[in-house]
Amino acid sequence: MTDLTELGVKAIRDGVASGDFTAREVAESFNANVAAAQDALNAFIVATPEKALEAADAVDAARARGDTLGKLAGVPIGMKDLFATKGVQTTAASHILEGFVPEYESTVSANLWRAGAGMLGKLNLDQFAMGSSNETSYFGNVISPWRKEGSNAGLAPGGSSGGSSAAVAARLCPAATGTDTGGSIRQPAAFTGISGIKPTYGRCSRWGIVAFASSLDQAGPMVRDVTDCAIMLEAMAGFDPKDSTSLDLPVPEWEAGLDPDLRGKKVGIPREYRMDGTDAAILKSWDDGIAWLRDAGAEIVDVSLPHTKYALPAYYIVAPAEASSNLARYDGVRYGLRELPQGANLQEMYAATRAAGFGDEVKRRIMIGTYVLSAGFYDAYYNQAQRVRTLISNDFKAAFEQCDVILAPTTPTASFPLGDKVDDPLAMYLNDVFAVPASLAGLPAMSVPAGLNADGLPLGLQIIGRAFDEQGVLNAGLAIESRAGFDARPKRWW
């Protein structure tokens, strides 16, 4: 029998439906991979093999009865530990939520279980989704399954969804959920040679997802190819009355609409994205992507996004401001960690709990956010950043009058060694320079693998689309995927 862990979402779903193998056989195979890699990769905070088997047995029983199977029937997945899962610890990779077991299920995870998916476990991430290398987790950093040629140094899997990216790339799961606030699906996907899409803001419900920056957070899938992105996103998306920002729109049939033929389409190339400090290999992959899309029938046009250079500064005002407000709820009173020094009053308990419960990066962002929201600085910083955000959104609107999708690099470099940037926040933040603009504008954007650099590490290309046009983004991604022929995978060392 084919090694079932080599199969992606579509192959597993179709194989289970046709009786080529059982859902239990799939779950058992991935459970074994999760257990074997845990010490080496640290991709999961909690493994839930029993949940995967329980869902698999339900699918097998439904097939035996002749019932209609769900879109993800028989597919075991990894769940980023930012999604509330009823009866299973949900920590946001923090000490302050360690041991917190929700009594409710997030809307996205409930949608996935309803579609027939099973849970292999809760995936590691940067603490409260704040980070670009998965080094801020209270439970230890995730290690990428990739290695630079000739080196055994551990590499960053990207962040904040580093557990998700590492697990998919290492064949610990065929698919995983991610969240993207300023690139946290796309950057880790690019670092590990997988595909990931951030849909239009509001496509996937935020209800039951631990909040970082509420006007930016958006869930999306991380998988091995574009087709699997379409399948997963169909199952995750949908209107949710519990989320006031949820889009009350029908979920398109993205899988059925996949088409790599781009004749009649225009692809914009933003001149401002050719930035100093971008690796030559990244720029070459971008040129390759332009040639591939031209070969697919698209017309290539130059576009301008003039406020791009202000996107990162604006993001690092807006996101910390919203984080400082969202994280005020963690005070040791109702749930989570409580530090109560002898004789302490309520204010001292708050301070002790938050000092012990939050990591350095989270504290940094809370302090920045509190500062920019304080009296006297609100107009100078937060309001100004929101005005810049509007200008960036208007830039995209103007660009999309000239093109259908935009092609750009996902990241300025390939993955870097763990520890290289952890003490330099500004260098770490620059990882998201190409990803943040689409997040500020709430647009759908995905990363697809484009090839390897001279060190044998994956490089990603980013496609950005108009609001609600995930289909156009997926189709352009499919055109790149079919021409790039990317089939590299990490050499197993774990």
**Residues known to be catalytic:** 80, 160, 184
What is the C-alpha R_g of the chain? 21
* Cis upstream peptide for 160 (omega within 30°): yes
Looking at residue 198, the DSSP 8-state letter turns out to be: E
**Which one, of 216, 176, 167, 171, lies nearest residue 196 by Cα?**
176
The answer for residues whose C-beta is within 8 angstroms of residue 233's C-beta and 6 or more apart is 197, 199, 203, 204, 220, 221, 254, 470
- At 119 the three-state DSSP class reads strand
Record the tokens describing residue 241, joined without a space. Answer: 């009355």
d(CA 122, CA 91): 9
The answer for residues whose C-beta is within 8 angstroms of residue 138's C-beta and 6 or more apart is 91, 93, 94, 95, 98, 127, 359
d(CA 176, CA 76): 9
The answer for residues whose C-beta is within 8 angstroms of residue 14's C-beta and 6 or more apart is none
d(CA 256, CA 104): 33
d(CA 487, CA 257): 24
